[in-house]
């Protein structure tokens, strides 16, 4: 990472003038982001996807015609996505 490379390549004057606690605080705050923010972001992405799959499964189980509509909606989404990603 950029922070680690910068600390390892820093001149000795940096370590003489910067307290060790400040360097450790910065490193630990970066690890804190990895420990707490990324799992929550992952949950916010995965939970709606699981809910969507479960809802489609229930609707398909109740009435099979939902599969046709879901496939058409998926195809329309792909067409719109390709159009906007190309521009």
How distant, in Å, are the alpha carbons of 12, 41, 52 from that of 46? Answer: 46, 9, 10
- Burial state string for 20-44 with b = 16 or more CB within 10 A and e = fewer than 16: eeeeeeeeeeeeeeeeeeeeeeeee
> What is the pLDDT confidence band of residue 8, given thresholds at 50, 70 and 90?
confident
Cα separation, 9 vs 6, in Å, equals: 5
Work out the percent of the chain whose per-residue pLDDT is above 90.
41
Q: What is the pLDDT of residues 43-87, one digit of tens each?
A: 999 999 999 999 989 988 999 888 899 899 999 999 999 999 987
pTM over 0.75: no
**What count of residues does the chain have?**
87
């Amino acid at each position: 990472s950029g922070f680690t490379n910068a600390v390892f390549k820093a001149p000795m004057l940096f370590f003489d003038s910067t307290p060790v606690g400040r360097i450790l605080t910065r490193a630990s705050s970066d690890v804190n982001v990895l420990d707490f923010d990324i799992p929550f972001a992952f949950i916010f992405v995965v939970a709606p996807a699981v809910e969507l799959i479960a809802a489609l499964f229930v609707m398909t189980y109740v009435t099979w015609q939902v599969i046709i509509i879901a496939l058409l909606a998926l195809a329309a989404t792909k067409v719109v996505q390709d159009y906007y990603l190309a521009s």
